[in-house]
Amino acid sequence: MTEPTERGILQPMDEKLKRAIITASADEPFARHMGLHLTDLGPGFSVVEMDYRPERLDNIYQRAHGGAIYGLIDEAFQTACQTHGTIAVALNVNVSYVSSPESGVRLRAEARETSRSKKIAHYDITVTDENANLIATCRAIAFRTGKPIPFYQP
């Protein structure tokens, strides 16, 4: 995946940074517990997938727990935010749940940066199932601290 520069020339993502984020996500206790898998990553972009397993992720109505869907969204948001090499943290996350997934499907959260300044970045995130059914949409805002990512040494 490439990123436009100020002059409109596309630049690839730093491979060392990409590997560091992929490794950090794979090692993250929450991601492992939820069965979240980072499957694509680029500048301001991330795809995270999860198998919807009702025995672990259902609510009291035997439907997907909103927290499980949110966890998938947050992992995609988190990984997309870090792709510029500095720590970014959530300021606001607004989720709209559209439909409940069917049992056993693979869910996919795609986070895409829509704007970025020195301190703030905006993201659109969609969750779909393996049949391209829309499960949730999200708009999220990140605060860019400017601090280096501790698990990445350029």
Q: Is residue 3 part of a domain?
A: no
What gap in Å lies between CA 145 and CA 137, rounded to an integer? 26
Q: Is residue 72 part of a domain?
A: yes
Which residues have CB under 8 Å from 81's CB, separation 6+? 88, 89, 121, 123, 142, 144
pLDDT 10s digits, 72-81: 999 999 999 9
Q: Is residue 117 part of a domain?
A: yes
Q: Is residue 4 part of a domain?
A: no
Q: Is residue 129 part of a domain?
A: yes
Q: Average pLDDT over the chain, rounded to whole?
A: 91
pLDDT of the residue at 105: 94
Contact present, 72 and 36 (Cβ < 8 Å): yes
Q: Is residue 2 part of a domain?
A: no
pLDDT of the residue at 9: 43
Q: What is the CATH number of the domain that holds 36?
A: 3.10.129.10
On whether the pTM is more than 0.85, the answer is yes
pLDDT of the residue at 146: 96
1 against 39, higher pLDDT: 39
Please state the domain count of the chain. 1
Q: Is residue 119 part of a domain?
A: yes
Q: Is the pLDDT of residue 2 over 50?
A: no
Q: Is residue 65 part of a domain?
A: yes
- Residue at token pair 């499980």: 68
Question: C-alpha distances in angstroms, 86 versus 19, 27, 76, 89, 140?
Answer: 15, 19, 16, 10, 17
Q: Is the pLDDT of residue 11 over 70?
A: no
pLDDT band at 110 (very low <50, low <70, confident <90, very high): very high
Q: Is the pLDDT of residue 4 over 70?
A: no
State the helix-helix crossing angle for 15-27 and 66-81, rounded to 10 degrees: 150
Q: What is the mean pLDDT of residues 86-101?
A: 97
pLDDT of the residue at 83: 96
32: containing domain: 10-148
Find the radius of gyration of the CA atoms of the chain. Answer: 16
pLDDT of the residue at 127: 98
